Structure 1
């Protein structure tokens, strides 16, 4: 009985050690895409306003398209973090490569009038809605 209790306690200790390892910074470079492209979308009668957090991207590496009522944002990143000392000896070096993409269904947008602005790691878009034809109740005369 004591042997079973010891094995159980060892198993629980090992599980706690693995849990602590998972909470450590060891996995910090494996953050899901959703954490990098947090999005706010506001809608009113005239437009959609979209703000997407994309820190660390160059504007030239962000691609935006709107097709079939779908807004697609894609960002490509190639970074090298080189931390050399004053003599040029590398103390730490990391490379990150990758592409992120998100899609949003935003219907009835006036495609030609979409505007985009990127500043301080935030991509802001304004997507004007197509103006509906007025359904005024007008009398139609019969010839």
Structure 2
């Protein structure tokens, strides 16, 4: 019966407990703010990358290629104001968001990449490069 109950005989330090709690709570907080979720599906002749970017407009999204890296960035600034008859603020809201990710596109035809954005999902088609065929030949020994 006693083997079914978890029993930890280690001594616990209250400060250590709170330190671990804080680290686990805030760990990844900055990552979640700056990154976005993606799915990559392999098909016969291409990869399809689907990125979740809800709340953005097409104009807010920037896709660039730097060497063998595909960079996706999305940023928006939005400010809404509502005033009453006396020009006093009834409500003022600001929203700012910045997301960025990079992907290695080695083996992808960079000039054939296409993108579309619908209902908060950015979809990129990444055509595969044809594998280079190595020629057979003999080498003369001198």
Residue pairs, 1:62-73, within 5 angstroms? 62-73=61-72
CA distance in 1, matches of 2:107, 2:47: 10
Residue pairs, 1:49-64, within 5 angstroms? 49-64=48-63
SS at match of 2:54: coil
What's 2:37 paired with? 38
For normalisation by structure 2, the TM-score amounts to: 0.62
What's 1:118 paired with? 117
What's 1:100 paired with? 99
**Cα root mean square deviation, aligned:** 3.2
Deviation at 1:80, TM superposition (A): 1.6
Deviation at 1:76, TM superposition (A): 1.6
Deviations 1:50-90 (A, max 9, x none): 011111112112110123321110112011233x3785764
Is the CA contact (8 Å cut-off) linking 2:33 and 2:99 kept in structure 1? no
Deviations 1:5-43 (A, max 9, x none): xxxxxx9xxx8xxx9xx9xxxxxxxx6233xx2111112
Residue pairs, 1:2-13, within 5 angstroms? none
Larger helix proportion of the pair: 1
What's 1:77 paired with? 76
